[in-house]
């Protein structure tokens, strides 16, 4: 059994002891937890568009071109999560979820290679150990979920399922200095010269934002009349378009490489929760 599966199995076993309780219509629950985000990732080969010139045409470089065998992979991450939940009935709750942004590493495989004879001279090896991880980024994913709790409100152990949506965006998308230097040396300077643009060149990275559906299941057990322990899994059908541009000193785009990455994170989380009962939390008399 892998460490990730052992973590989740332990989370469910910890939720297996406690006393009677109620999670019922009108109750408000706040949860704080820690979880591991497993990425079920996939990607498409990179497609590169060049700012062509007479010189690139003479060299037989076509634009755009696809580099077969290139792909990107997103590593796993762990972070802190929180949730605020309101029970509209004994069985139906709505949760607003968030957390500290997860920090992901993006690695590369394959070689970006232009067409023509220049492909053997000017290329970038994405899989080179010195270039990896190619980039790092922080992922922000606030979410809303509708959940259905099984069993009676007074049941000791309550499984639940949920469905919802989230909006994801990325910040602090930073390229590895070695990968950036290789891109500038093998593509940037050549393209700047071919287009008569000022040097040096620089590289920028971007990851698109998106809405995506969420699917959730878990189990909750009350420890006391107010405290509870929950273990849950949440899967997001998350895709993003990654974009790496090489620009001249005057910000002319010389090269634009894009790929679609399916991150598809599966978050396995253990929560400690406090039930404030009906009313607005922190405003009880």
Mind listing the pLDDT tens digit for each residue in 172-206? 999 999 999 999 888 888 888 888 887 889 999 99
- Which secondary-structure segment (H or E) carries 221? strand 210-222
Q: State residue 14's pLDDT score.
A: 43
Residue with tokens 């273990």: 231
Task: Tell me the mean pLDDT in the region 127-147.
Answer: 95
**CATH code for the structural domain at 26-275:** 2.40.160.20
Phi-psi region of 277 (alpha: psi -120 to 50; beta: other; left: phi over 0): left
Could you give the 3-state DSSP secondary structure of residue 51? coil
Nearest Cα neighbor of 187 from 111, 257, 122 is 122
This prediction has a pTM of 0.83
Q: Bridge partners of 213?
A: 165
Q: With contact defined as beta carbons under 8 Å apart, do 14 and 261 qualify?
A: no
Q: Tokens for 36?
A: 């591991």
Asked if pLDDT for residue 20 goes beyond 50, the answer is no
Q: State residue 266's pLDDT score.
A: 97
Query: Looking at 14-28, 62-76, 247-261, which range is the least confident one?
Result: 14-28
Q: State residue 163's pLDDT score.
A: 98
Averaged pLDDT of the chain: 86
> What percent of the chain shows pLDDT beyond 90?
62
Q: Tokens for 206?
A: 């971007």
Rg of the chain in Å (alpha carbons):
24
CA gap 39, 267 in Å, rounded: 9
CA gap 114, 64 in Å, rounded: 9
CA gap 125, 123 in Å, rounded: 7
Helices and strands, number each (H, E), in the chain: 4, 19
Q: Bridge partners of 98?
A: 82
CA gap 241, 246 in Å, rounded: 17
Q: From residue 188, how far is each of 115, 167, 194, 220 by CA, in Å?
A: 16, 34, 10, 55
Nearest Cα neighbor of 224 from 16, 21, 11, 13 is 21
Q: From residue 276, how far is each of 18, 27, 105, 170 by CA, in Å?
A: 18, 7, 38, 33
- Which secondary-structure segment (H or E) carries 12? helix 3-14
Categorize the per-residue pLDDT at 8 as very low, low, confident or very high, splitting at 50, 70 and 90. Answer: very low
For residue 183, count other CB atoms closer than 10 A to its CB.
Answer: 24
Nearest Cα neighbor of 232 from 249, 246, 248, 217 is 217
Q: With contact defined as beta carbons under 8 Å apart, do 270 and 230 qualify?
A: yes
């Amino acid at each position: 059994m892998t460490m990730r599966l052992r973590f989740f199995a332990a989370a469910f076993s910890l939720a297996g002891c406690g006393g009677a309780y109620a999670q019922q219509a009108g109750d408000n629950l706040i949860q704080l937890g820690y979880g591991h985000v497993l990425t079920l990732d996939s990607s498409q080969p990179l497609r590169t568009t060049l700012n062509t010139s007479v010189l690139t045409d003479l060299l037989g470089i076509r634009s755009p071109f696809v580099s077969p065998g290139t792909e990107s992979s997103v590593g796993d991450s762990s972070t802190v999560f929180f949730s605020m939940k309101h029970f509209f009935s004994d069985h139906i709750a709505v949760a607003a979820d968030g957390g500290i942004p997860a920090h992901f590493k993006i690695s590369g495989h394959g070689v970006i290679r232009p067409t023509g004879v220049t492909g053997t001279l000017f290329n970038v090896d994405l899989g080179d150990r010195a270039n990896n991880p190619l980039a790092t980024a922080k992922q922000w994913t606030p979410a809303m979920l509708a959940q259905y709790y099984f069993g009676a409100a007074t049941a000791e152990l309550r499984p639940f399922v949920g469905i919802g949506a989230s909006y994801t965006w990325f910040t602090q998308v930073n390229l590895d200095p070695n990968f950036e230097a290789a891109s500038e040396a093998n593509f940037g300077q050549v393209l700047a010269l071919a287009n008569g643009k000022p040097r040096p060149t620089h590289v920028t990275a971007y990851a698109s934002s998106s809405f995506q559906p969420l699917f959730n299941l878990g189990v909750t057990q009350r420890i006391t009349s107010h405290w509870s322990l929950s273990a849950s899994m949440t899967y997001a059908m998350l895709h993003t378009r990654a974009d790496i541009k090489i620009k001249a000193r005057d910000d002319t785009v010389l090269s634009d490489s894009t790929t679609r990455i399916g991150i598809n994170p599966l978050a396995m989380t253990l929560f400690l929760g406090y039930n404030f009962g009906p009313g607005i939390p922190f405003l009880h008399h």
